[in-house]
Amino acid sequence: MPHDPEARPAVARDELQKLTEAVREAVGRLESAVREEKAAREEVQAELDAAHAALEKAEGVKEGLEQRLFELGERIGSGAHVPPKERVLQMASNPVSDHFAVRAEQLDALRAERDALLTKQKGEGWVPAESWAAVQREKEALLEEARQREKRMLRLKQVFAAKATEFREAVTSILGYKLNFSGNGRVRLTSVYDAGTALVFQSSDEGGDVGSMRLIGVGERAEQGELAEGEGVAGALQFWVRQRGSIPCFLSQLTIECFEKTTMGRSAGYALGDGDEGQEE
């Protein structure tokens, strides 16, 4: 460094300018890196949102398929389903066919009589025009009332469907079981922790206004009334349902056992040891 006092300020200014430029370059590089990081994060977030949307859609499709599978199982169990390769033989003349044939014949006769009366009325004019117009107005009024009633029924069905979905989601979140209802009073419960764990209950009316639910099946073929005696199920059935008569306690123990089998349950250390599996006698 020169020892000339007059040269020192110029040297200091040069060094300060170089330092300032270096700082600006560093700041520019940091800002560029931040922008790139922000863009990458937004891209990853968009992919995550798309994945969540696809997952929700897949869950909806899965629930619809489970409901359809449950209904088909009910039909197969009741004998309503006939496979394509099987043929059902019946006599050409049987009570059912005879009954429908008589009904069809009567209906055809009534239609022919109605057409004849309408033709005569229009041709001869024996019904007053005012009466005919009044009947037509009444018909239109009844049709409009029927359309309005159908709209109200549709709204009620939509509201009921939304409330039913909300109720099922609440039950699933609180109790850990998905509900599927069939038309014959049966309810299928599927554990959210194990899709293979299913229970079917049949409603029974023992008189009065109070009904009860009766466990008729456990396992993949629960609709056919099978009680799967697998590991953990037999003891719980014997202890809680047959001895104590408590279905809620049985469901609670079954939920805990299903959770322990999941990856989350094992990683959290909830799985019971050999010494903890005993049940109270």
Summarize pLDDT for 139-170 with one digit per residue, the tens: 998 999 999 999 999 999 999 989 988 988 89
Average pLDDT over residues 76-101: 72
Q: How many CB atoms lie within 10 A of CB 47?
A: 10
Q: How far apart are CA 114 and CA 107, in angstroms?
A: 11
pLDDT digits (tens, 9 = 90+) for 200-211: 877 765 544 444
Tell how strand 186-191 and strand 198-205 pair up: antiparallel
For residue 72, give the amino acid letter: L
Question: What pLDDT, on a 0 to 100 scale, did the predictor assign at position 226?
Answer: 47
- Place 222 in a pLDDT band, splitting at 50, 70 and 90: very low
The SS3 of residue 232 is: coil
Average pLDDT over residues 258-266: 73
Q: Decide if pLDDT at 19 tops 80.
A: yes
As beta bridge partners, residue 188 has 180, 200
As beta bridge partners, residue 190 has 178, 198
> By CB neighbour count within 10 A (0-12 exposed, 13-18 middle, 19+ buried), where does 199 fall?
buried
Question: What pLDDT, on a 0 to 100 scale, did the predictor assign at position 84?
Answer: 66
Structure-block tokens of residue 201: 């209950």
> By CB neighbour count within 10 A (0-12 exposed, 13-18 middle, 19+ buried), where does 110 fall?
exposed
Structure-block tokens of residue 214: 């009766």
- Percentage, residues of the chain above pLDDT 70: 70
Q: 216: which residues sit within 8 A by CB, 6+ positions away? A: 186, 200, 201, 202, 222, 225
Question: What pLDDT, on a 0 to 100 scale, did the predictor assign at position 79?
Answer: 60
Let me know: does 255 contact 198? Beta carbons within 8 Å: no
- Place 273 in a pLDDT band, splitting at 50, 70 and 90: very low
Question: What pLDDT, on a 0 to 100 scale, did the predictor assign at position 4?
Answer: 59
pLDDT digits (tens, 9 = 90+) for 24-46: 888 888 888 888 888 888 888 88
Among the ranges given (64-78, 147-161, 246-260), the one the predictor scored with the smallest mean pLDDT? 64-78
As beta bridge partners, residue 227 has 218
- Place 9 in a pLDDT band, splitting at 50, 70 and 90: confident
Average pLDDT over the chain, rounded to an integer:
76
pTM confidence score? 0.42
Average pLDDT over residues 239-268: 79
Q: Decide if pLDDT at 23 tops 70.
A: yes
262 or 176: which leads in pLDDT:
176
Among the ranges given (183-187, 253-257, 262-266), the one the predictor scored with the smallest mean pLDDT? 262-266
Let me know: does 172 contact 166? Beta carbons within 8 Å: no
